[in-house]
Amino acid sequence: MSAKPSQTQRIGVLSTGMYVPPKVLTNKDLERMVDTSDDWITSRTGIKERHIAEPGTATSDLALPAAEEALKRAGIAPKDLDLLITATTTPDMLFPSVSCLVQQKLGATSAACFDISAACSGSIYAIITAQQFLQGGRYRNALVVGAEVLSSFVDWTDRTTCVLFGDGAGACVLGPVSRGGIIGTDMGSDGTQSGLLFMPGGGSKYPPSYQSVDQRLHYLQMSGSDLFKVAVRRMADSAKRVIEQAGLKVDDVKLVIPHQANIRIVEAVAKFADLPMEKVFVNLDKYGNTSAASNLIALHEAAQTGAIKPGDRVVLVAFGAGLTWGSVLLEWS
* Cβ pair 123, 144 in contact under 8 A: yes
By beta-carbon proximity to ligand UT7, the closer residue of 103 and 161 is: 161
Query: Could you say whether residue 45 binds ligand UT7 (CB under 6 A)?
Result: yes
Q: 80: part of which helix (H) or strand (E)?
A: none
Task: Decide if 100 is catalytic.
Answer: no
| R_g (Cα) of the chain, nearest Å | 19
Query: Could you say whether residue 2 binds ligand UT7 (CB under 6 A)?
Result: no
Task: Decide if 289 is catalytic.
Answer: yes
Query: Could you say whether residue 279 binds ligand UT7 (CB under 6 A)?
Result: no
Query: Could you say whether residue 114 binds ligand UT7 (CB under 6 A)?
Result: no
Paired residues of 40 in beta bridges: none
By beta-carbon proximity to ligand UT7, the closer residue of 238 and 289 is: 289
Query: Could you say whether residue 120 binds ligand UT7 (CB under 6 A)?
Result: yes
Query: Could you say whether residue 293 binds ligand UT7 (CB under 6 A)?
Result: no
Residue 152 CB: number of other CB atoms within 10 A? 17
Catalytic residue among 113, 120, 162, 172: 120
Query: Could you say whether residue 231 binds ligand UT7 (CB under 6 A)?
Result: yes
> Which DSSP symbol is given to 273?
T
Reference 322, options 199, 146, 151; nearest CA is 199
Question: Could you give the C-alpha distances from 206 to 64, 220, 322, in angstroms and in order?
Answer: 30, 14, 18
Query: Could you say whether residue 322 binds ligand UT7 (CB under 6 A)?
Result: no
Question: Could you give the C-alpha distances from 323 to 31, 45, 90, 98, 227, in angstroms and in order?
Answer: 31, 21, 17, 22, 9
* Cβ pair 326, 318 in contact under 8 A: yes
Query: Could you say whether residue 163 binds ligand UT7 (CB under 6 A)?
Result: yes
By beta-carbon proximity to ligand UT7, the closer residue of 153 and 319 is: 319
Backbone angles phi, psi at 147, to 5 degrees: -145, 140
Query: Could you say whether residue 245 binds ligand UT7 (CB under 6 A)?
Result: no
Query: Could you say whether residue 225 binds ligand UT7 (CB under 6 A)?
Result: yes
Query: Could you say whether residue 133 binds ligand UT7 (CB under 6 A)?
Result: no
CA atoms within 13 A on the CB side of 7: 1
By CB under 6 A, the residues from 302 to 321 that bind ligand UT7 are: 319-320
Min separation Cβ 267 and ligand UT7, Å:
12
By beta-carbon proximity to ligand UT7, the closer residue of 74 and 231 is: 231
Task: Decide if 295 is catalytic.
Answer: no
* Cβ pair 287, 20 in contact under 8 A: yes
The catalytic residue positions are: 120, 259, 289
Give residues in contact with ligand UT7 (CB under 6 A): 36, 40-41, 44-45, 120, 159-160, 163, 224-225, 227-228, 231, 261-262, 265, 289, 319-320
